[in-house]
Amino acid sequence: MEVAQSGKRCITFSVLHSGINSVTPALFIDKVYGKLIHQAINSGVEFFAYKCEFYPSQMELKTKLILFTKK
């Protein structure tokens, strides 16, 4: 995929809801989106998910979450 080939290798999901402890593509909403995520992973793009907190002047990544990307 173009992202990995261009040298950019990371996509980060920022999670704002305190009750979420894992992230997975919502294949039941958009199967094409899930397919493209898997293509990106197979091309070398890395995905991460973090709980975040927002402040008036910044956003902080707090806790790394479990990221499920398997089919």
Express each pLDDT in 45-62 by its tens digit.
Answer: 888 899 998 899 998 999
Task: Give CA separation, 50 vs 2, 6, 7, 10, 36, in Å.
Answer: 24, 24, 22, 13, 21
Name every residue whose Cβ is closer than 8 Å to that of residue 62 and which is 6 or more positions away in sequence.
Answer: 50, 51, 52, 53
Express each pLDDT in 12-48 by its tens digit.
Answer: 888 888 888 998 888 889 999 888 888 888 888 888 8
The reported pTM is 0.71
CA dihedral 24, 14, 36, 40 (to 10 degrees): -110
Write down all domains in the chain, each with its CATH number in brackets: 2-67 (3.40.1350.60)
Residues belonging to the chain: 71
